[in-house]
Amino acid sequence: MNNVIEMSHPLIKHKISLLRDKNTGTNEFRKLIEEIGILMGYEALRDLPLEDVEVETPIETCMTPMISGKKLAIVPILRAGLGMVNGILALVPSAKVGHIGLYRDEETHEPHEYYCKLPDPIDQRLIVVLDPMLATGGSAIAAIDFIKAHGGKSIKFMSIIAAPEGVERLAKAHPDVQIYCGNIDRQLNKDAYICPGLGDAGDRIFGTI
Ligand code: PRP
Ligand code: URA
């Protein structure tokens, strides 16, 4: 699967281990999700195009590179994706933010949509979809289907922890989407939770356990 990149940075791996710990409380969990968002965003945005622009320094005028091309839109999948938004905004404060609300049915594990609002027009933007968990892949696939149906063309997907089953399904469903994973874990369990995972990301971010 050449559209999948698993992060190798030691800071990302270290912070993911802290996230996994069941004794990590809500406050620290939230901070870690945001920090990992920054670190993963830094990696995922390394191919942003640059163009030389003229800048006057106190010494002289020079041509110096600045980000050009497509503007960014961040699209968190509600709820848990919200935790990563400030991390990406710390890197690109001018990014627009869309939202896609999906929850998984506890029995079938199928995603259900309850809210969607995207920046308009979306077709000229680079879109980064955020969700800390990629489990069966159903939510990510549904979110990206929706974005494409609204004209989105250039899409990246970022998850902090992924299951191999979900990565494979998403990579096949959307081969044009670059997928960034903080860690690819062992497998899903019978309830479609990631093992070893970190439990329910939304509940741990918002303290609703
Ligand atoms: C979690 C998670 C993903 C989804 C992943 O959300 O944040 O959106 O499950 O599972 P999947 O890959 O099998 O679709 P959840 O449905 O628990 O909603 P929440 O974020 O509101 O807690
Ligand atoms: N959603 C989560 O929050 N955690 C999992 O392990 C799977 C789906």
- Output the pLDDT for position 1: 79
- Return the residue whose CA atom lies nearest to atom 7 of ligand 2: 193
pLDDT of residue 106: 87
Each residue's pLDDT tens digit, 146-201: 999 999 999 999 999 999 999 999 999 999 999 999 999 999 999 999 999 999 99
Model confidence at 3, in pLDDT bands (50, 70, 90)? very high
Q: pLDDT digits over 111-153, tens only?
A: 999 999 999 999 999 999 999 999 999 999 999 999 999 999 9
Q: What ipTM does this complex have? A: 0.97
Distance CA 12, CA 7 (A): 7
| Closest ligand to the CA of 199 | 2
Catalytic residues, by residue number, are 104, 108, 200, 203
What 8-state DSSP symbol labels residue 162? E
Residues 6+ apart with CB under 8 A from 28: 18
pLDDT at site 92: 94
Highest mean pLDDT among 69-73, 96-100, 109-113: 96-100
Residues annotated in the binding site, as ranges?
Answer: 79, 104, 131-139, 194, 199-201
User: 201 CB contacts (<8 Å, ≥6 apart)?
Assistant: 33, 80, 83, 132, 133, 160
Q: How many CB atoms lie within 10 A of CB 151?
A: 13
User: Could you state, in order of their start, the residue ranges of all structural domains in the chain?
Assistant: 4-50+63-206
pLDDT of residue 68: 87
**How many angstroms separate the alpha carbon of residue 192 from the centre of ligand 2?**
7
Give the C-alpha separation, 209 to 200, whole Å: 8
The confidence band for 104, taking pLDDT boundaries of 50, 70 and 90, is confident
pLDDT band at 70 (very low <50, low <70, confident <90, very high): confident
pLDDT at residue number 69: 75
Q: Which of 103, 105, 195 to mutate to test the pocket of ligand 1 (most atoms within 8 A of CB)?
A: 103
Model confidence, pTM: 0.96
For range 45-49, the mean pLDDT: 93
The structural architecture, per CATH, of the domain 4-50+63-206 is 3-Layer(aba) Sandwich (3.40)
How far, in Å, is the centroid of ligand 2 from the Cα of 202? 8
CA distance 84 to 78: 11
In percent, the amount of the chain with pLDDT more than 70 equals: 100
Q: How much is the pLDDT for 2?
A: 82
Q: How far is the CA of 47 from the centre of ligand 2 (A)?
A: 29
Rounded to an integer, what distance in angstroms lies between the CA atom of residue 133 and that of residue 199?
10
